[in-house]
Structure 1
Amino acid sequence: MKSRDGAAMVQEHRALMAEFEKLVSVARGENSPTPREQWQADKSEAEAMLAAISGLPDEDDRRDILGEELIKASFRSSLVNEVLSPDSKGPKHTLEDARRLYLSERIGGDRPKTVRLERICARITDALGPLNDFPLVDLKREHARSLRDAMLSATKKNGEPLSVASVKRELNMVTAMVGLGIREFDLSDRLSNPFEKLDMPKATQVASARDDRDPLPADVIKAMRTRLETSCKSPDLARIWHLLVGTGCRLAEVSGLLVEDVVLEHEVPHLIIRPNAVRSLKTRSSIRKVPIVSKALEAAREAVSEVKRRGDGPALFPTYAKPRGADGASQALMKHLRAVTSNPRHTNHSLRHSMKDWLREAGVPSLEQNLILGHTLGGEGDTAYGGELAKLRVTQKALQKVVELGLMA
């Protein structure tokens, strides 16, 4: 250590300990660098060592002497090679490099998405071999089809096959991961993403249709409301249901709301759907403001009032404000829903399909439907309405029309 006291010593000590822990982790085989990462680390270390040599102006002399000393000291061969052969291009970027990049750039600390990525990468390993041994530039369309077919034949823990919808979702993440690697590693001139526009086999079309969800009929929604009011011990669960019915939001979007995301003192009372500490969002277009009317507005007021009365913190529904909290809310609601309908195509998510149908029947334009449901706008939303207040006004009118026509059960 160069520092001897004060804040500088503490800061230097922390940096040294972090580097030490990193070395120990690598020595133990934990988080070992990929071949490309090791090459880049060797390159940086070699340049730093060469820069520290003084008295020898000729670079070749410095490299020769340093290389000899490293060999005598039994340094790793990859570092010696980088000192003696500085023009080497290094190992190719692999699928593992793409995975690590996607993890840091797109997922961050999102635990559920991290678990999902690891599960998908395990499937890739089973189908194509270790990610660290598979260069990105070697990916072909046949590899994409092989992975697709392997996923379609895979089973869940309960022995049931993966649904076609699940396979599509997992392949979407693979497509995004590979695409990010191609772009960020400057491989676009050598490789096109083989996972893009990968269709499902015709044999899966029937299964895919079977996996589709039906909108919930009015009698089922009413029966569910009655059951939650009479047989559910959790008032928050009933409030979540009312918000789902009245907004068409995804379950995680509602269960993960913060109190500050519920704007009641406004010309247009609304929910702000945005990423927060409780949950992320599915897509960029999911970030939006959704008006709340009728029973949804009542439920929002009750929820805010109850949280403030109890002093429970920033989450609107504290019970579900945690990792996998939306899964817990879904399971709890499904137990009640199965008591009023046995149709396997009726799920909590069916309410989004219901809202889509109600908006269509009310004659609401597609653009306004997309603003409410958080579907892709293609840049139209901003140019059509100009500002957030205008969007809120038109979407509020759309939802009020659904209520006035008696479509919202």
Structure 2
Amino acid sequence: MLLISTQNITVKLKYYFNNNGQHYFQRSIPRALQRFYGDKKIVRHKLPSIHSQMLLEMNRLAHHYDQHFKALKSGQGGTPSQIQEQAVALLASHGVLPGAANTPARVPEGMYEYPHLDYIEDYLRDKKQAGTMTKVDELAQLLLSKPMPILLSQATDVYFENHEHGTSEKFKKNTLKRWKNIYDVTGGDIALADVTREMARRYIKHRLTTVKTTTVERELKTIRAVINSVIKEKSLNLSNKFERLTIPKKGKDSVARKPFSQDEYRKLIAGCVSKADEIRVLILICCLTGVRPSEAAGLRREDVYLDDEYPHFDVVEYGGRTLKTKNSVRKVPLIPAAAKVLAQYLETHTDSVVFPRYCDGNEVLGDNVSGATNRYIASLGISKTLYSARHTVKTLLDQAGTPEYLAESIGGWGKPSISRGYGDGHSLARKYAALQKALTTVLVNESE
């Protein structure tokens, strides 16, 4: 182990071995992992003779084996990721690292330029002649000159590392939820380069047995984005097999959400007002504004303006909280029935967010919102979801003769027209009046 010794200092390095003046990095292979190295007990690499270079190389090799031993210990064996680790370990057991065939050695002219490959080449040749090549052997042979294949399970890591929302847990969860279905047609976790066009076509057919065409379209959009990111960031010479796919009868299987009937709406609003707890206030806000459930759930105190001439709240993005479209950013009026209940509810807690159970101040817990609101609506004997409130408000606005551009600016449905007052200081007043008029028929007891 002794490497450097002077009159004043002695330096000892872990994993150093001196064999008749030749410096080596030598490390014992944990007993449980020796099977990955052909039952060898140590790995050994020659080191440069210059001390500074030697120290750097030893540090690099120590880190390299720390990571690979850790990966091998945590693996279950037989998985693509485990095979990758075993292939790298196999190369290491023969004194080489991935890419070794791409760097010739400095030898006298006329001599074989790759003497460092002798052991691994002999091993692979013997295995091939014996007909006993394994997936590990095949990958190890590939890694001598080619980069490590990117697996499907690794593709999303590349995507998250290079996406503006890649650190958002909500974004990751939604992406992985759509990405995971690809394994149903690939037969498991395979290399991205092995994905075929037939698999992509089969994906559509397979998913259409359980979900609608619009869902498949959203999933394909995510899959294409992930694959394109990997191709770009890793400079892969691949085509995206999920591009330009046709979804049969796209959109024709959609079932339009029906608005609440007037009786259902009155019953729902009355129930929320009578017991204005967190979930019922959230539902009430949706019923009296037409906002999306996630937009209401993501409100912060700083977004609510109850003391303005026209009480309202701002729908904005912040932290990990994103909105469905660019046009979703807007000011939404709060008519008296909504403003009164919301003001009373806000006095019951001091959190910075309006609905702390459904928002952590960074992003909205969408699944919690959907489940809780739908359960309450079902408890009233109404077989619809909260999203029907959005359609109900749009219907009421239309029935009240609200101009389309104004209705769109209230609900964030379309792109407001600059020429028709978008951005005008009086636009909030017009939206307030339009919403008040539209909801009159369902707020018969508002003055009470």
Assess same fold via TM > 0.5. yes
**Deviation of 1:218 (Å):** 2.8
1:316 to 346, 354, 357: 354
2:258 to 194, 205, 214: 214
Equivalent residue for 2:387? 349
2:246 to 198, 202, 217: 198
Equivalent residue for 1:403? 436
Structure with more strand by fraction: 2
1:24 to 61, 66, 70: 70
In 2, the alpha carbon distance for the partners of 1:359 and 1:69 equals 79
Q: Structure 1 residue 290 and structure 2 residue 336: aligned? A: no
Looking at CA atoms only, which structure, 1 or 2, has the larger radius of gyration?
2
Equivalent residue for 2:403? 364
Q: Structure 1 residue 125 and structure 2 residue 187: aligned? A: no
Q: Structure 1 residue 170 and structure 2 residue 203: aligned? A: no
Alpha-carbon contact 1:253-1:281 (below 8 Å) kept: no
5+ long unaligned stretches in structure 1: 3-12, 155-161
Equivalent residue for 2:208? 152
**1:398 aligned partner, one-letter code:** K
Cα 1:393–1:57, aligned 2, differ >3 Å: closer, same or farther? farther
Equivalent residue for 2:269? 225
Cα 1:67–1:364, aligned 2, differ >3 Å: closer, same or farther? farther
Cα 1:120–1:82, aligned 2, differ >3 Å: closer, same or farther? closer
Structure with more helix by fraction: 1
* 1:41-60 correspondence to structure 2 within 5 Å: none
In 1, the alpha carbon distance for the partners of 2:216 and 2:205 equals 9
2:289 to 247, 252, 259: 247
In 2, the alpha carbon distance for the partners of 1:352 and 1:219 equals 16
3-state SS, counterpart of residue 147 of structure 2: coil
**1:108 aligned partner, one-letter code:** G
In 1, the alpha carbon distance for the partners of 2:410 and 2:238 equals 41
Cα 1:327–1:89, aligned 2, differ >3 Å: closer, same or farther? closer
**Deviation of 1:168 (Å):** 4.2
3-state SS, counterpart of residue 315 of structure 2: strand
**Deviation of 1:208 (Å):** 2.6
Alpha-carbon contact 1:256-1:326 (below 8 Å) kept: no
Alpha-carbon contact 1:67-1:80 (below 8 Å) kept: no
**Deviation of 1:213 (Å):** 1.1
In 2, the alpha carbon distance for the partners of 1:384 and 1:208 equals 34
Cα 1:82–1:122, aligned 2, differ >3 Å: closer, same or farther? closer
In 1, the alpha carbon distance for the partners of 2:83 and 2:426 equals 53
Cα 1:122–1:293, aligned 2, differ >3 Å: closer, same or farther? closer
Cα 1:244–1:117, aligned 2, differ >3 Å: closer, same or farther? same
Alpha-carbon contact 2:281-2:342 (below 8 Å) kept: yes
Q: Aligned-residue CA RMSD in angstroms?
A: 5.0
5+ long unaligned stretches in structure 2: 1-10, 12-58, 92-96, 123-135, 443-448
In 2, the alpha carbon distance for the partners of 1:117 and 1:17 equals 32
1:71-113 Cα shifts (integer Å, max 9, x gaps): 99xxx99999899x7xx45356554443322344445354455
Cα 1:404–1:46, aligned 2, differ >3 Å: closer, same or farther? same
In 2, the alpha carbon distance for the partners of 1:398 and 1:370 equals 10
Cα 1:77–1:337, aligned 2, differ >3 Å: closer, same or farther? closer
Equivalent residue for 1:9? none
3-state SS, counterpart of residue 290 of structure 1: strand
In 1, the alpha carbon distance for the partners of 2:69 and 2:181 equals 30
**TM-score (norm: length of structure 2):** 0.60
**Deviation of 1:349 (Å):** 0.6
1:333 to 355, 363, 373: 373
In 2, the alpha carbon distance for the partners of 1:183 and 1:34 equals 25
In 2, the alpha carbon distance for the partners of 1:191 and 1:66 equals 35
3-state SS, counterpart of residue 99 of structure 1: helix
Equivalent residue for 1:101? 158
3-state SS, counterpart of residue 330 of structure 2: strand
1:270 to 295, 302, 313: 313
3-state SS, counterpart of residue 135 of structure 1: helix
**1:241 aligned partner, one-letter code:** I
Equivalent residue for 1:5? none
In 1, the alpha carbon distance for the partners of 2:327 and 2:75 equals 40
3-state SS, counterpart of residue 191 of structure 1: coil
Equivalent residue for 1:6? none
3-state SS, counterpart of residue 347 of structure 2: helix
User: How many corresponding residue pairs?
Assistant: 357
Alpha-carbon contact 1:71-1:80 (below 8 Å) kept: no
**1:337 aligned partner, one-letter code:** I
